[in-house]
Structure 1
Amino acid sequence: MPEAPLPLQARRRQRRGWRRPRGLLAWGALVAFFFVMNWWMFSRLQDPAARPHFRLRRHPPRAAAAHAANSSLTTLEEVAGAAKEKRPHKVMLTRLLALAAHALGEAETRPEPKDLWIEPINATMWRPCSDQRDWEASVTEEVTNGYIMISANGGINQQRVAICNAVTISRLLNATLVIPKFLYSNVWLDKSQFGDIYQEDYFINYLKSDIRIVKDLPVELQSLDLEAVGSLVNDTDVMKEAKPSLYVKKILPILLKNKVVHFIGFGNRLSFDPIPSELQRLRCRCNFHALRFVHKIQETGALLVERLHGPGPHSSSLEDNLLGQVAIKSVGNGNTSHASKYLAVHLRFEIDMVAYSLCYFGGGKDEEDELEAYRQIHFPALTEIKKTTKLPSAAFLRSEGKCPLAPEEAVLMLAAIGFKRSTNVYIAGAEIYGGRHRMAAISRLYPALVTKETLLSPSELEPFRNFSSQLAALDFIACAAADAFAMTDSGSQFSSLVQGYRMYYGGGDLPTIRPNKRRLASILVNNATIEWKEFETRVRKLIQQTKQVHERPVARSIFRHPRCPECMCRTEH
């Protein structure tokens, strides 16, 4: 049965509806598009699996930075073992990350902040001078009080500090130092010894006017039962940052009696103050001058620096120290165009650090269960303390700046202080907790992002596989030589040593970004309401304050703060 025609008034209303302004429909479509795009942005920040997978293979040095800048990388996928992940790790601060993405897009055509790649002007008032000596002769075999041996624990950074302290104690006690040994650790899983990382002969010869160093203990002492005669000294026997007087009082008598003392561990076992100025200078001299990486590490480190900076002359006293005589060769037609700038970032977000912090990173019950299971295995003492003691809440720890910065927090800091989206970024660090899911935000906002695993070919990396300390040495070179270096944990030994190297050799041209995590947490807590301009202003202010140049505070590490009369000399302007 055919439909009855519409009444006349109904037909008129229908025609008027068809004649409504098309602008209203267009406006509705625009609003819908806006919400769809925001949903897409948030979802992709949390789901990096949607991205095209890509691995930067070996490229000619000139092409490396450009290739990275035009590529979407699965950041740290190999390092983090993303294929082993059971569940995605949720990303925090998605609203601020979306604002940062928008701001970075707008900022690409604007000039960078003037102080982004430089230190304050008064940084040039300090120059390296710990290579200068006020004494001439070291001890000889005839007058030595005995031999000092050390077996250093920890990773390459803790071992380096132990070496410098052992050199200083040897001079203090008028003793001969045996080339240090490194303890094998179930954490680091690295069998490297001193000669696998540092040049033994260079170390011995450079310090020969300071102390006598030998490669082995004399034969007549090698059969001595050191534990039985009381010559083994553990960390429990010497307090942290002990004064020189303790060594004279407690260790020297053992040395004189048995002719040998063996320190087991020997991390931070020597104070920074009070200590005689010449001994302090010797400690600086050891760290900044006497420890040179072996040629294998220098050559591969030179490849990293070349592929990050591009070809062209860019030698410096810092690179001369790190790379020695290894030449960084240009390729192609010898064009000496300006080298590329790059930012190095040390991310301290491994699972052991995350678990031990007792902090929360937005992953819900799955995250809490996973970290608690890790604590029970690796930190049983902490698990027992939790059963009997009321510990600070995760929120309180974060407000006090006690939580490691997650990659998304680090990238918000970088975006706020003015690094453009096209900035070449080198990421140093071990396995990132959460793998590529956790790295999604930083690799999306800064697509020109590389690691040693993406810059070096498998064959170039092969000699270093299963040697975590040697891999860390490559990261050290890349971070120390960077045009700007950003740390995410001021307590990191690696970041501290890199910062000190940059201060010592940088001449005011190598800034280090050190966030005050407590103040940064007070800004990020407003992530649901704060606008980008306010966020940007507050973050820049706190970073500028940490970049101020000061002389080393009393009792602070000279490895991290070498601006002091014992390590550096003030210049007149």
Structure 2
Amino acid sequence: MEHFLMQHPSYSRLWAPVRHFESLHPLANRSGDYAAPEMQPTGFIFVKIRGGFHEIRNAISDVVVVARLLNVTLVIPEIQSTTSSKGISTQFKSFPYLYNEDQFIAALAKDVKIVKTLPKDLKGARRKKEIPSFKVPHGASPYFYLHHVLPMLTKHSVVELLVHSGGCLQSILPPPLVEYQKLRCRVAFHALRFREEVQNLAIKILNRIRASGQPFIAYDPGMTRDALAYYGCAELFQDVHTELIMHRRAWMIKRGILKGNLSSDSAEQYRNGLCPLMPEEVPCILQFNIKSSHKFLHY
């Protein structure tokens, strides 16, 4: 059976070499009339980002766009991971612990002025909590930044943004801001690179997996706190943080994000196909699809 599956056209299509992307038009390219950042920005934005890996990456892309929108200098964001209780190093709050800091600054030099730290006088003001602070709502509009944040920034020369749960700017910007949408792509796919040690470790892992000569899948089950809270599947995957997940589910219900009861039957949700796949289920589904395809062609 295994030999048959490897010879089947569906198998070949699934594991065929990936086509080159050079022919695709990269959305991240700047337009011809795209201007460089102004030499005299209006102030500084200092950002604290809290969340998991996906939320951190999305938030970084957004804060770069916000800095460009407001014509301010962006201080390298401070990462406050919610994963500290899982044994991850406390150094994780440092941006360069995860990403290549110099690459990030250089890649965006034509878009936003970025510095590693605040000037000394503003550092002192921050320690004394004299800097205006904003808890940014998820998916905030450009209007929020232009009419609420910018006036305080102009007055104090610096503001602090507290970003939770991912994106701090609406996901789809209006057509006049298409260049800002492109900037998001440049941040995500060009500026944000893992530091060298992380990349080297990833290469070692890939080489070891590829050494077998067999195809493989890198699978992200999406078992974030938000996903488990939204679908009510927490009990299937973990029990240590169930209380935190239930708190998140209550928050979603209160804000109308989720319609349903606070308590849910995880087993029932699983039977209805509403929970993330377990890693061991993915190859089973792929194998089933190939067999089903053969059965369909046979009949």
Corresponding letter in the other structure for 1:176: T
CA distance in 2, matches of 1:171, 1:270: 13
Alignment-derived partner of residue 138 in structure 1: 37
Corresponding letter in the other structure for 1:274: L
Matching residue within 236, 245, 254 for 2:152: 254
Indicate the structure whose relative CO is greater, using CA pairs within 8 Å and at least 6 residues apart.
1
CA distance in 2, matches of 1:255, 1:174: 11
Alignment-derived partner of residue 216 in structure 2: 342
SS at match of 1:270: coil
Matching residue within 170, 173, 185 for 1:274: 173
Matching residue within 155, 169, 186 for 1:285: 186
CA distance in 1, matches of 2:292, 2:198: 44
Alignment-derived partner of residue 483 in structure 1: none
CA distance in 2, matches of 1:215, 1:198: 13
1:47-126 matches, within 5 Å, as 104-105=1-2, 107-108=4-5, 110-113=7-10, 114-117=12-15, 126=24
Q: Is the 8 A contact 1:375 1:383 kept in 2?
A: no
Alignment-derived partner of residue 111 in structure 2: 210
Matching residue within 228, 239, 244 for 2:142: 244
Q: Is the 8 A contact 1:184 1:190 kept in 2?
A: no
- Structure 1's 163 and 219: CA in aligned 2 closer, same or farther, altered over 3 A? same
CA distance in 1, matches of 2:151, 2:68: 15
SS at match of 1:417: helix
Alignment-derived partner of residue 154 in structure 1: 51
- Structure 1's 162 and 247: CA in aligned 2 closer, same or farther, altered over 3 A? same
Alignment-derived partner of residue 257 in structure 2: none
Q: How far does residue 300 in structure 1 lie from its aligned partner after superposition? A: 1.9
Q: How far does residue 307 in structure 1 lie from its aligned partner after superposition? A: 2.9
CA distance in 1, matches of 2:171, 2:16: 29
Q: How far does residue 303 in structure 1 lie from its aligned partner after superposition? A: 2.0
Alignment-derived partner of residue 558 in structure 1: none
- TM (norm. structure 2) is 0.76
- Structure 1's 380 and 390: CA in aligned 2 closer, same or farther, altered over 3 A? closer
SS at match of 1:183: strand
Matching residue within 65, 79, 88 for 1:168: 65
Q: How far does residue 379 in structure 1 lie from its aligned partner after superposition? A: 3.0
Q: Deviations over 1:158-215 (max 9, x none)?
A: 1111111111000000000001111143445442211122221121112111110111
- Structure 1's 344 and 218: CA in aligned 2 closer, same or farther, altered over 3 A? same
Q: How far does residue 401 in structure 1 lie from its aligned partner after superposition? A: 4.2
- Structure 1's 172 and 309: CA in aligned 2 closer, same or farther, altered over 3 A? same
Q: How far does residue 105 in structure 1 lie from its aligned partner after superposition? A: 4.1
Q: How far does residue 378 in structure 1 lie from its aligned partner after superposition? A: 5.6
CA distance in 1, matches of 2:125, 2:234: 52
Q: How far does residue 292 in structure 1 lie from its aligned partner after superposition? A: 1.8
Corresponding letter in the other structure for 1:345: Y
1:140-539 matches, within 5 Å, as 140=39, 143-185=40-82, 186-188=84-86, 189-191=88-90, 192=92, 193-225=94-126, 229=130, 231-234=132-135, 238-266=136-164, 267-275=166-174, 276-310=177-211, 341-348=215-222, 357-359=231-233, 371=239, 375-376=242-243, 379-380=246-247, 389=261, 397-398=269-270, 401-418=273-290, 533=292
CA distance in 1, matches of 2:5, 2:81: 48
- TM (norm. structure 1) is 0.42
Q: Is the 8 A contact 2:27 2:185 kept in 1?
A: no
SS at match of 1:240: coil
Alignment-derived partner of residue 94 in structure 1: none
CA distance in 1, matches of 2:170, 2:152: 21
Q: How far does residue 263 in structure 1 lie from its aligned partner after superposition? A: 1.0
SS at match of 1:211: coil
CA distance in 1, matches of 2:179, 2:134: 25
CA distance in 2, matches of 1:398, 1:203: 41
Which runs of no fewer than 5 residues in structure 2 stay unpaired?
A: 254-259
Alignment-derived partner of residue 563 in structure 1: none
- Structure 1's 383 and 375: CA in aligned 2 closer, same or farther, altered over 3 A? farther
Q: Is the 8 A contact 1:177 1:214 kept in 2?
A: yes
SS at match of 2:152: helix
Q: How far does residue 147 in structure 1 lie from its aligned partner after superposition? A: 0.2
Corresponding letter in the other structure for 1:203: F
CA distance in 1, matches of 2:4, 2:279: 21
Q: Is the 8 A contact 2:98 2:194 kept in 1?
A: yes
Q: Is the 8 A contact 2:228 2:245 kept in 1?
A: no
Question: CA RMSD, aligned part only?
Answer: 3.9
- Structure 1's 152 and 226: CA in aligned 2 closer, same or farther, altered over 3 A? same
Q: Deviations over 1:481-521 (max 9, x none)?
A: xxxxxxxxxxxxxxxxxxxxxxxxxxxxxxxxxxxxxxxxx
Identity %: 27
Alignment-derived partner of residue 25 in structure 2: 127
Corresponding letter in the other structure for 1:183: Q
SS at match of 1:128: coil
SS at match of 2:25: strand
Larger Rg: 1
